Amino acid sequence: MPENDPYIIKLEGIEKVYYTDEIETYALSGVHLNIKKGEFVVISGPSGCGKSTLLSIAGLLDLPTVGNYRFRTHDTANLKGKERASIRNNEIGFIFQSFNLIGNLTVFENVELPLIYRRIKKEKRKEMTLAALERVQMTHRRNHLPSQLSGGQQQRVAVARAIVGGPAVMFADEPTGNLDTQNGNRVMEILKELNNDGATLVMVTHEKAYESYADRVVKMLDGKVMEIVDQKSKRGVA
């Protein structure tokens, strides 16, 4: 990718096919999507439309069956498992609907985990972890286990874990799906703040209300991108 290329994510002709016995199921079909650095993109659509699959491929958790995917300077088709893991660790942050915190690790240890895999020294890890927790205002609960937190608090911890390593892109899969409106709004505010600070954000959601936070909304149906709404320009027009 040339240095002046504005796109941090370039998905071209992405297909994802699941094979069950002799039946082929197309989860994604001919998806083209480019995302710029610093953009906040929401992927929306009904259940089963392929939005989470698209997020997994974009987040290097899964491989497309067909198509090209360039993530920053990496042509992902040729990456080995170890390299994909390294990119996830250094350049990507994930937030999941069901928080996905490790139950027997404390809040601090959960947030610290990506830094351990990055082999950062303990003192530095502590400093970075506390900074991330401070950002989501969870420092006071750092020694608690996930089971001792509310859903909203758990998701804030998950956000802290996603941002602790300073990722280039954050992927959020229905981050408010398991939260009440108040906690959902709070998480969205944090995400927006991060985006305002320069983070690129790709979020899957089916809640219309949160589409307004995005610069662009990618609407999907049956594994295809049906429409991309540029809300920034809309806002600009307005």
Three-point CA angle 139, 140, 142, nearest 5° = 65
C-alpha dist (Å) from residue 197 to 76, 122, 128, 227: 27, 27, 17, 27
| Interaction between residue 86 and other proteins (CB under 8 A) | yes
Please state, as a whole number, how many other Cβ atoms lie within 10 Å of the Cβ of residue 80: 8
Which parts of 139-168 interact with other proteins (CB under 8 A)? Answer: 161, 165
101 binds other proteins (CB under 8 A): yes
Burial of 221 (0-12, 13-18, 19+ CB in 10 A): middle
- With respect to other proteins, which residue has the nearer C-beta, 174 or 215? 174
65 counts as binding other proteins under rule CB under 8 A: no
> Which of 27, 67, 71, 89 touches other proteins by CB under 8 A?
89
Which residue's entry shows tokens 């958790």? 61
Q: Is 44 in the site for other proteins (CB under 8 A)?
A: no
Q: Is 130 in the site for other proteins (CB under 8 A)?
A: no
**Structure-token match 């610093």, residue found:** 38
The least CB distance from residue 98 to other proteins, in Å, is: 7
Exactly one of 19, 21, 47, 82 binds other proteins (CB under 8 A); that residue is 82
Query: How are beta strands 74-75 and 66-71 bridged, if at all?
Result: antiparallel
Number of residues assigned to the chain = 238
**Residue type for position 71:** F
182 and 114 Cβ atoms separated by less than 8 Å:
no
Interaction between residue 19 and other proteins (CB under 8 A): no
Q: 67: closest CA among 36, 28, 37?
A: 28
If binding is defined by CB under 8 A, does position 108 make contact with other proteins? no
Q: With respect to other proteins, which residue has the nearer C-beta, 52 or 216?
A: 52
Stretch that binds other proteins, among 5-13, 39-47, 99-107, 227-235 (CB under 8 A): 99-107
Question: How many residues sit close enough to other proteins to count as binding (CB under 8 A)?
Answer: 32
Q: Which of 100, 139, 178, 231 binds other proteins (CB under 8 A)?
A: 100
- Contacts with other proteins by CB under 8 A lie at 52, 56, 59, 61-62, 81-82, 85-86, 88-90, 94, 96, 98, 100-105, 113-114, 116-119, 121-122, 161, 165, 173
